[in-house]
Structure 1
Amino acid sequence: MGAHGSNLENILEEDMHHWYNKFTRESPSGLVTLFELKSMLEMNGMTEEASSYVDQVFFTFDMDGDGYIDFVEYIAALSLLLKGEINQKLKWYFKLFDQDGNGKIDKGELETIFKAIQDITRSYDIPPEEIVTIIYDRIDVNGEGELTLEEFISGAKEHPDIMEMLSKMMDLTNVLEIIVRGQKQKPAVK
């Protein structure tokens, strides 16, 4: 995960009491709303897809569905993304990709998420349509144009290159660091 990963791992290893104090200092109510998250991430001017992606990330972290991310959900999300087992991460990716909640990921859902990720990260190395084509050509064994959770997990695990691509695209280290530190990152001056 690079330099950002080391910083986050150091933060996770801090005394929990100290960490909780940091969280409550940045969010005095002890809760983070979707609006606050978007403010922290400076989401003004982002595309509709990028905004929708942040919504989806928020709602997958809001495990009890109350419209807030509390400290326990926050710690659980950080632990999952930084130290979670491969199956846990793949289940979370699937939940994030399955925007309509029907238990299957279709090509449109996946392409929308990848476009949003690229809008947020400003990294446009591979067109989203190409990424989706690669994934479906390799792991949609039934050729239905949809992936179930089981197909998604087994396909990603059988194809290390797809797993690596998903891991890189889904790396939320920068987002998590902004949230954890409660600071807005300034764009690099060129």
Structure 2
Amino acid sequence: MGNNSGVSLEEMNACESHQWYRKFMTECPSGLLTFYEFKRFFGLKNLSETSNAYVMAMFKTFDMNNDGYIDFMEYVAALSLVLKGGVQQKLRWYFKLYDVDRSGCIDREELLLIIKSIRAITGADHDMSAEDFTNMVFDKIDVNGDGELSYEEFVEGIQNDEMLLATLTESLDLTHIVQRIQGEIQDNM
């Protein structure tokens, strides 16, 4: 993993990091988490094709060195982002997640795919269709009207719109998964 993540094991206390390491090595004795193990690790089964694509995109954002695996340091960086990351860090991660084709911009189709996938996984009801929500996001934050969201447009637009920031943060809140893992760690102590 490169040094650009800004996260290290020192950010967690010794006891906490030992517990996370034990959990990680119990689930992944090889020390490398594959996509299949990632889904099993988070209890994601019988996903639709769309939801599976979303989970794969999430896996790839955590696989910082693009080797097809999540090692322990990448795992710690992901947990640190979820547990302790600031708005800027999370927005950078969200952008990377939404930019499915890694073009440096998010287009309507990419955003729509992710919104549909998140909704399929969470099963939550929404007042607005995924298509209408996607259109609203672009109407609000596609400043130059080119049909793509640059990183700058995305970050500024989301930060300047409390409703979009709250919706985005809520839809990608992974703390319930982290709490479940922490509960499993406590049960095994």
Q: TM-score, normalised by structure 2?
A: 0.83
Shift >3 Å, 4+ stretches? 12-15, 40-44, 174-183
Bigger relative contact order, structure 1 or 2, given CA contacts below 8 A and separation 6+? Answer: 1
Q: 1:132 aligns with which of 100, 114, 134?
A: 134
Superposed CA RMSD in Å reads 1.9
2 CA distance for matches of 1:76 and 1:45? 27
For structure 1, the residue ranges without an aligned partner over 5 or more in a row are: 1-11, 184-190
2 CA distance for matches of 1:142 and 1:181? 46
Name the % identity: 44
| 1:14-53: CA deviation from partner (whole Å, max 9, x where unpaired) | 4322331222122211111001112334444321110000
Q: Which residue of structure 1 lines up, in the alignment, with residue 160 of structure 2?
A: 158
Q: Which residue of structure 2 lines up, in the alignment, with residue 105 of structure 1?
A: 106
2 CA distance for matches of 1:92 and 1:32? 19
> By how many angstroms is 1:181 displaced?
5.8
2 CA distance for matches of 1:19 and 1:44? 23
Q: Which residue of structure 1 lines up, in the alignment, with residue 145 of structure 2?
A: 143
With over 3 angstroms needed to count, the CA separation of the structure-2 counterparts of 1:55 and 1:177, relative to structure 1, is farther
With over 3 angstroms needed to count, the CA separation of the structure-2 counterparts of 1:181 and 1:33, relative to structure 1, is farther
For structure 2, the residue ranges without an aligned partner over 5 or more in a row are: 1-11
Within the alignment, does 1:92 sit opposite 2:93 as a pair?
yes
| 1:61-97: CA deviation from partner (whole Å, max 9, x where unpaired) | 0011111111110110111122111111111100000
> By how many angstroms is 1:57 displaced?
0.4
2 CA distance for matches of 1:179 and 1:65? 25
